[in-house]
Amino acid sequence: MSYELPSLPYAYDALDPHISKQTLEFHHDKHHASYVKKYNDAVEGTDMASKSIEEVIKATADNPDKSGIFNNAAQAWNHTFYWNSMKPKGGGTPTGALADKINSDFGSFDKFVEAFKKAGSSQFGSGWAWLVLDGGTLKVTKTLNAGNPITSGQTPLLTMDVWEHAYYLDYQNKRPDYIDSYINNLVNWDFAAQNLSAA
């Protein structure tokens, strides 16, 4: 039961000019595909091959001997989640239950944005910024490298990739510009709302 590389949920040029076709082609077809292949190769013929990728991520998270499996499993999962965290003509503000929960747990949407931008910009090196549900409360968190909040019992609602390969062709070293563009033009609030309602 191998884990398949999912297609992007939109065309390669659908996020232009905020994320270019060239970036999505490299990011999805090279980076993401490589994580998926390495993950499948690593678990083939083991008892993990029959487990879901989420089960494998949780089982290998704190085991240095399984770091190769964890890194590729988590990166395969994180990237799929990231593609769905964006959409063409995204951004703006959420509505409904998600908007109410953000206002309640952060104090305002602007305070959430401030926390999310800080998580993304202050992540040293490679990693991810997340909006998660943790014990019934929305929180912003960040993870290093392949880190994933499900290993801490949190439910991811949204993520932003801050590895350099996610933005360097379009923004070079200006990570804050990429973060602004993600928030203002790309966030898929419908996806976050679905994850909240399913939690």
Q: Known binding site for Mn(2+): residues? A: 27, 79, 161, 165
> With contact defined as beta carbons under 8 Å apart, do 106 and 114 qualify?
no
Q: What is the DSSP letter of 86?
A: B
Burial of residue 39 (CB within 10 Å: 0-12, 13-18, 19+) is buried
In three-state secondary structure terms, 173 is coil
> With contact defined as beta carbons under 8 Å apart, do 79 and 161 qualify?
yes
How far is the CA of 105 from the CAs of 100, 121, 187, in angstroms? 9, 22, 19
Residues of the binding site:
27, 79, 161, 165
Quick one: tokens of 109? Answer: 């949407």
